[in-house]
Amino acid sequence: MSLTDLWDRFTAIQPPPASGLILATAVASLAAVLIPAVWRLARNLITITHEGGHALVAVLTGRQLRGIRLHSDTSGLTLARGKPRGLGMILTLSAGYLMPSLLGLAAAAVLATGRVTLLLWTALILLFLVLLVIRNWFGLLSVTVTGAVVFAVSYYAAEQTQAAITYVAVWFLLIGGVKPVLELRGRRRRGGTGSDPDQLARITGVPAGLWIAVFTLANLACLAYGGYLLVQDRVM
């Protein structure tokens, strides 16, 4: 297969899935977020994206990335060297809770063009980049398994199956990106003070509650517009 043929395959436009499939994938993703047993497992995808967001912005703002750790309790940690204050630190801390929703919105925009295979292979590239900076065994396992699933779907699955799984994943990023921010409120009421909004409050003087409100509104906006992109001209 030539490079031209390969590129044509990756950028091929698939016909839009049936409206029933789009709604079914939205319901499945919502269930994955609301059912505790499923959420505990599926949340690893949100954690990978969260820590990847920290890492990406850290590099873009000139910080020295030391690595990412992912833990079995779905928590994570991104280590980077640089000034403990300033715009770079603020952007790096802000990126974590925003990245799943922003990535979901970008993915929804790609899906709206029908380029399912291109989206899957873009996800593979991003996972590979995250894998390069993972610094613990569970993180390696989590990212490798996720990448293997994405590769299997992109290479072996039929078009309809690709579309179904991709829509589930994008809906999950959009819906699942909201829940961790909402959970922050309960965690802070129980005395937690080490979250990203708490660190932002310490370096900016802006209350953590206001940061949480900003993240919540931004992620809800991504969900609303991303959802619109996924259903436009199909369900509406």
What are the pLDDT digits (tens) for 2-30?
Answer: 667 667 677 778 888 888 999 999 999 99
- Structural contact between residues 11 and 115, judged by C-beta atoms closer than 8 angstroms: yes
Q: Where are the domains of the chain?
A: 17-231
Distances (CA, A) of 41 to 33, 86, 138, 162, 178: 10, 35, 13, 21, 17
In the prediction, which pLDDT does 165 show? 95
pTM score, two decimals? Answer: 0.93
In the prediction, which pLDDT does 189 show? 61
199, HSE (Cβ side, Cα atoms, 13 Å): 14
- Structural contact between residues 166 and 100, judged by C-beta atoms closer than 8 angstroms: no
In the prediction, which pLDDT does 185 show? 75
Distance CA 91, CA 177 (A): 18
DSSP designation for 195: S
Sequence-ordered strand ranges (E) for 22-172 = 64-70, 76-81
- Structural contact between residues 231 and 22, judged by C-beta atoms closer than 8 angstroms: yes
Q: pLDDT, tens digit, for every residue of 114-147?
A: 999 999 999 999 999 999 999 999 999 999 999 9
- Number of Cβ within 10 Å of residue 73's Cβ equals 10
Residues whose CB is less than 8 angstroms from the CB of residue 224 and which lie 6 or more positions away in sequence, other chains included: none
Give the confidence band of 214 by pLDDT, cuts at 50, 70, 90. Answer: very high
